[in-house]
Amino acid sequence: MRLLVALLVWFLRGVFASRGSLALENLALRQQLATYARTQNRPRLNPEERAFWVALSRVWQGWRSALAFVKPATVMDWHRRGLRRYGRWRSRKPGRPRIPAQHIAMIRRISSDQPGWGEDRIAEELAIQLGVKHSTSTIRRYMVRRRQPRGGQTCRTFIKNHASQIFAVDLLTQHTALFAVVYLFVIMETASRRIVLINATTSPGLAWVKQPIRQATAWGKSPRFLIHDNDGIFGPFRDRKRRGETGRRYRCRLDLWLADVMGIEGIRIPYGAPKASPHIERLNRTLRKEALHHFIFLNVSHVRRVGAEYREFYHGARPSQALHAIPDPYPELATPPPTNGKLTALPVLGGVQHDYRLAA
């Protein structure tokens, strides 16, 4: 501010001074400026000095000849920066003004109560019934947003609606003491969380997978759907094949065999989406944590015996957090426990797990 005041004083002095004195004073100032520019580094100008040169360039065509500290291009850049800052200041509140808060509350209330209504229906409701008129784009801006499933029901909804008709299968691996790989094939009933079957082998294949499925679906226990992942043991086709007159497509040989021989519809979950079959994945984690990780297995028979014993404990004595009950409790658990019984623990899997009871 002091610089601007001083410049204004000098300007008024120059207006009333004689022409000769102004020429001599200009000559003296130019000589001092040339000496300063030769002996000193280029000074740094503050914002007020920059604003002065920008304003001077707008009113005086010969400003370039008097400029010695900076280049003319620098002054032009200062001017462009000022325009950008002015533009940002003018557009600090972009778009249309907000509608009243009461109208926003109305739109949110209606869109929340009526999920099927679009912005057109809500706009008409507000205009005709309440006398509030807004464009459909404004209505859409303040509507309650919901996540809609892509094309029909999700996998979670499908499993929930058909849980009583679904079996889920999966393969997991376990290493022996000599580092041989043992493959466990687990079949689970989704609705009751029961482990229908656990089998183990060191050389799995599609023929071996078919046998436990036959055992699990014998005696009238055949499900309608069988959910599985995209494991190569199930015989995936290189491309989708058509089968029969209906033209139904099957993505693996297991689904083809299930449809033609067993009358079961095989459902493959999407690639890289284990959450599409969460129940069998959670069972595999429980099986590893509570049984398999506590042993160094000798051979396939050892793995199979541990799996069979844990399956019996899982059905008869282990409470399921999903069911808040035991899938198939032991007969002695059907009677009420004694009132003043003593707590006892029956070892399972050599004491890895315990079956707690109250003894009279």
DSSP sequence for 318-347: PPBTTTTB-SS--GGGSSPPPTTPEEEEEE
Q: Mention every residue, 6+ apart, whose C-beta is less than 8 A from residue 159.
A: 166, 190, 227, 277, 279
- Residue 32: pLDDT above 80? no
Q: Residue 21 — pLDDT band, cuts 50, 70, 90?
A: low
Task: Give me the count of residues in the chain.
Answer: 360
Q: What pLDDT digit, counting tens, does each position of 182-194 carry?
A: 999 999 998 888 9
Q: What is the pLDDT of residue 196?
A: 92
Q: Which range, of 98-107, 199-208, 309-318, averages the lowest pLDDT?
A: 98-107
Q: Where are the beta strands (DSSP E) in 236-278?
A: 236-243, 248-252, 265-268
Please identify which residue in the block is written with the tokens 């036959």: 214
Q: Which range, of 19-33, 75-89, 167-181, 297-311, averages the lowest pLDDT?
A: 19-33
Distance between CA atoms of residues 310 and 195, nearest Å = 10
Q: What is the pLDDT of residue 238?
A: 75
Q: What pLDDT digit, counting tens, does each position of 94-129 carry?
A: 666 778 888 899 899 888 888 878 888 888 888 888
- Interval 288-312 mean pLDDT: 93
Q: Mention every residue, 6+ apart, whose C-beta is less than 8 A from residue 79.
A: 54, 57
Longest dimension (CA), the chain: 126
Q: What pLDDT digit, counting tens, does each position of 328-339 carry?
A: 888 888 888 888
Q: What is the pLDDT of residue 282?
A: 92
Sign of CA dihedral 157, 162, 163, 169: negative
* Share above pLDDT 90 across residues of the chain, in percent, rounded to a whole number: 24
Please choose, from the candidates 188, 191, 196, 194, the residue with its C-alpha nearest in 3D space to the C-alpha of residue 328.
194
Pairing of strands 166-175, 236-243: unpaired
Distance between CA atoms of residues 358 and 46, nearest Å = 87
- pTM, to two decimals: 0.57
For residue 309, give the amino acid letter: E
Q: Residue 198 — pLDDT band, cuts 50, 70, 90?
A: very high
- Residue 141: pLDDT above 70? yes
